Chains A and B, each alone.
Chain A
Amino acid sequence: MSERLNIGMIGLGKMGLIRYKELLKHPYTYVTHGADPNEAHFAEYHGVECSTDSPHVLESDVDCIMIATPNRYTPDLVIAALDAGKHVFSEKPPGCSVDDIERIIEAEKRNPGLKLKFGFNHRYHAGIQEAKRIIDSGRLGRILWMRGVYGKAGGEGFEDSWRSDKDMSGSGILLDQGIHMLDLFRYFSGDFTEVKSMVSTAYWDIPMEDNAFALLRDEQGTVAMLHSSSTQWNHKFSLEIYCSDGLLSVNGILSSTRSYGDETISVARRQFDEGFDSGKPQIETIYFDTDPSWELEVENFVDSVLHDKAIVSGTSEDALKVMELVFKIYNDDR
């Protein structure tokens, strides 16, 4: 393999463009081929040979393929890319069903020398990274419970977007956005074995859920509570982790529109044995001014490919486990 990675891209819409801009900045990547059914997207990809057909990329001499397509197309494209001998970075979710990710894993096993990573970029947000360091240090003790709220407003045209087309997306807000919060629960606490849920279509005229509420419990008894919503009229991201010796809370998540507010992490120790009033500990809130998640995630993938390192975050195993959770939440309320 050359010292710089030749990258092809399938799916040149909003997410594809975010990834493309990161690849342009990276010293060890260049993009030569792109594919998207919508030719209007080609204009942003200067110097990239673009086509409306995915074989244009799959059959090219690129080293890696980045896939940023609606959920329906993702699994077949990931499988085709792996079978074509390409390393693959794919946006989440890895399809519309658990069966989809299982098929992907079979293809991964057929091609053991190739790297496969899924884009669960929230793990790389500065607030989440800080939270992970704090939890892993053990300074706050063991995790007792977690509570995650992740919601967006849907907005104008939401009912007509591909995300609201069941055939294209598979299901609703839980698979689209709530999956990030489930992935973060797993990131901090490992796997959950027990699931209770209520899933509803409360407002939007769409054939899938616009709200999902779930309670998860792992084998150690740690409970996580999720609310995923597309009727959150004021965008919200909140992940609270309460531990035996303290708490942390990540609020807001930096996005291009800043609609989820400032990204902060608040940290406090359980200080009622340190002279502070019960319930009024000293709270320190850190504000983060930049979102390094896209850059770090791409860097992690490129580093794995160039130096033959194992993918450690966003693996197919991570994708499988989180898809299993998503569908346990759906199934529990049926």
Chain B
Amino acid sequence: MKRVVIESGLHDSAIRPQTLLSEFRRLSIEDAKSFFSDPKELVEVACPACDSDQCHEAFQKEGFHFQECEECKSVYVSPRPSKVALAHYYQKSNATQYRVEHFQRETAEARRKYLLRALSNWLGRIVDEKGNVQSRIFVDMGSNSSVLFDEIQRLGLFDSSYAVNPLPGLDVELAKIGVTISQGGVSGAGVISALHQLENQFSPFDMVKAAGDMLSINGLFFFTTRTISGFDLQMLWAKAPYIFVPEHLNLLSVEGIDRLVHRAGLNIIELSTPGQLDLELTAQAREADPSVELPNFIEYLIEQRDKLAHNDFQAYLQKHRLSSHVRVAAYRREGIDA
């Protein structure tokens, strides 16, 4: 299996400007209160990564209970909003509308520059290595902007592109660049991507399984998500300001993600944590919230060492799968029903 380290000079403010993020967070928390207010409609779940029912409460946030799995150390919300309630939320909430109309659009070019171009190059490399080049269908699950499709089309690997269950409000934008919208699924896909979707799914297993079902034999599934194994989340735990329901129902551990993908019948090619922002996010959170307490060593590193040391520390986290941004490439095995 491969591990990856990336250095691009990325800063959090480029892709998540504070004003946009604060407003999105405020709307999400407010919407969650109104959409998921009835505790009777919340559903108890086992660990979404390894399916273990052995857990203990890790922390509470905005009235939701985050559990830590005894087996794989994933952290997840349980009880949680039902699948139907979540679908309703993503169609109708103010937060979703804000995300599409402001957050994604206003950060589109920064995301293209720092994240999506590199991501599409990565995808192209894995296709060269292991892909099913016969299938020239590309699918993105839960699309929230058209920029990814732009970059993927630049690779010249696909004849047709589909957005499966995109966020509302993207129809015109996607149609303009020839992307077909599907509310169900597509079969025989060569490549499927799901960027930062796993964390907000009612069932990550269902999502990975659905991707496997849509793939051709040797088709590839790429996804990114946040992992609780990452430095900033381990440091900040309940006080990570950018973790909120329903955007973050599942903070799976690296080990949990490995088990999840195998349970769903796919084989992992790469499981990396090439995040570049753990230390920066930790420092920001500490500055914004005086109640955040960091170990002396981390305080010292942040205060007394320069950018070079910080970059080296971040590279160490990446190299050892200890950053909270995780990316996975997996393929559907021949003879296995995904």
A7 to B3, CA, bound (A): 37
Chain B nearest Cβ from A50, distance in angstroms: 38
Pick from A134, A280, A283, A285: contact of B128, CB under 8 Å: A134
1/0 per residue, CB under 8 A from A, across B207-227: the answer is 000000000000000000000
1/0 per residue, CB under 8 A from A, across B1-42: the answer is 111111111000000000000000000000000000000000
1/0 per residue, CB under 8 A from A, across B114-137: the answer is 100110011011001100000000
Chain B interface residue bracket vs A = 20 to 34
A286 to B2, CA, bound (A): 6
Contact between chains at B7 and A283 (CB < 8 Å): yes
Contact between chains at B3 and A282 (CB < 8 Å): no
Is B92 part of the contact surface with A, judged by Cβ < 8 Å?
Answer: no
Pick from B125, B128, B319: contact of A287, CB under 8 Å: B319
Is A47 part of the contact surface with B, judged by Cβ < 8 Å?
Answer: no
Contact between chains at B2 and A288 (CB < 8 Å): yes
Segment among A190-198, A211-219, A268-276 that sits at the interface with chain B: A268-276
Chain B residues within 8 Å of A283, by CB:
6-8
- By beta carbon, the residue of chain B nearest A133 is B128
Interface residues of B in 139-155 (CB under 8 A from A): none
Is B274 part of the contact surface with A, judged by Cβ < 8 Å?
Answer: yes
1/0 per residue, CB under 8 A from A, across B283-319: the answer is 0000000000000000000000000000000000001
Contact between chains at A282 and B6 (CB < 8 Å): yes
- By beta carbon, the residue of chain B nearest A290 is B1
Contact between chains at A274 and B6 (CB < 8 Å): no
Contact between chains at B118 and A284 (CB < 8 Å): yes
Chain B residues within 8 Å of A103, by CB:
none
Chain B residues within 8 Å of A275, by CB:
113
- By beta carbon, the residue of chain A nearest B274 is A284
A8 to B169, CA, bound (A): 69
Chain B nearest Cβ from A44, distance in angstroms: 30
Chain A residues within 8 Å of B3, by CB:
286-287, 289
Chain B nearest Cβ from A282, distance in angstroms: 4
Chain B residues within 8 Å of A22, by CB:
none
Chain A interface residue bracket vs B = 20 to 34
- By beta carbon, the residue of chain A nearest B270 is A286
Contact between chains at A276 and B128 (CB < 8 Å): no
Contact between chains at B1 and A284 (CB < 8 Å): no
Chain A residues within 8 Å of B6, by CB:
282-285
Is A21 part of the contact surface with B, judged by Cβ < 8 Å?
Answer: no
- Residue of A134, A269, A275, A287 with most chain B CB atoms under a 10 A cut-off: A287
A222 to B3, CA, bound (A): 31
Contact between chains at B9 and A276 (CB < 8 Å): yes
Interface residues of A in 129-184 (CB under 8 A from B): 130, 133-134, 136-137, 139
A269 to B319, CA, bound (A): 21
A57 to B114, CA, bound (A): 60
Pick from A137, A287, A289: contact of B5, CB under 8 Å: A287
Chain A residues within 8 Å of B8, by CB:
276, 282-283
Chain B nearest Cβ from A132, distance in angstroms: 10
Contact between chains at B121 and A274 (CB < 8 Å): no
Chain A nearest Cβ from B175, distance in angstroms: 27
Chain A nearest Cβ from B254, distance in angstroms: 14
Interface residues of B in 262-280 (CB under 8 A from A): 274
A230 to B333, CA, bound (A): 45
Chain A nearest Cβ from B10, distance in angstroms: 8
1/0 per residue, CB under 8 A from B, across A112-141: the answer is 000000000000000000100110110100
Chain B residues within 8 Å of A137, by CB:
124-125, 128
Pick from A130, A267, A285, A289: contact of B129, CB under 8 Å: A130
Chain A residues within 8 Å of B124, by CB:
137, 139
Contact between chains at A285 and B1 (CB < 8 Å): no
A268 to B129, CA, bound (A): 17
With A282-B118, A284-B118 already in contact, the answer to whether A133 and B4 are too (CB < 8 A) is no
A275 to B111, CA, bound (A): 12
Chain A residues within 8 Å of B122, by CB:
284
A282 to B120, CA, bound (A): 13
A276 to B114, CA, bound (A): 9
Chain A residues within 8 Å of B5, by CB:
284-285, 287
A133 to B6, CA, bound (A): 20
A280 to B117, CA, bound (A): 16
- By beta carbon, the residue of chain B nearest A284 is B6
A281 to B115, CA, bound (A): 13
Chain A nearest Cβ from B313, distance in angstroms: 16
Chain B nearest Cβ from A8, distance in angstroms: 35
A137 to B123, CA, bound (A): 13
A285 to B7, CA, bound (A): 9
Contact between chains at A289 and B1 (CB < 8 Å): yes
Interface residues of B in 229-283 (CB under 8 A from A): 274
Pick from B7, B117, B118, B125: contact of A133, CB under 8 Å: B125
- Residue of A267, A280, A282, A289 with most chain B CB atoms under a 10 A cut-off: A282
Interface residues of A in 252-279 (CB under 8 A from B): 267, 269, 274-277
Chain B residues within 8 Å of A287, by CB:
2-5, 319
Query: Chain B: residues with CB nearer than 8 A to chain A?
Result: 1-9, 113-114, 117-118, 121-122, 124-125, 128-129, 274, 319
| Cross-chain pairs A/B with CB under 8 angstroms, 18 sampled | A130-B129, A133-B129, A137-B125, A267-B125, A269-B121, A274-B117, A276-B8, A276-B9, A277-B9, A284-B118, A284-B121, A285-B5, A287-B3, A287-B5, A287-B319, A289-B1, A289-B2, A289-B3
8 interchain residue pairs of minimum CB distance:
A282-B8, A287-B3, A285-B5, A133-B128, A137-B128, A284-B6, A286-B2, A275-B113
**Further 19 A-B residue pairs, CB within 8 A, beyond A139-B121, A283-B6:** A130-B129, A134-B128, A136-B128, A137-B128, A139-B124, A139-B125, A276-B8, A277-B9, A282-B6, A282-B7, A283-B7, A283-B8, A284-B5, A284-B118, A285-B4, A287-B4, A287-B5, A288-B2, A289-B1
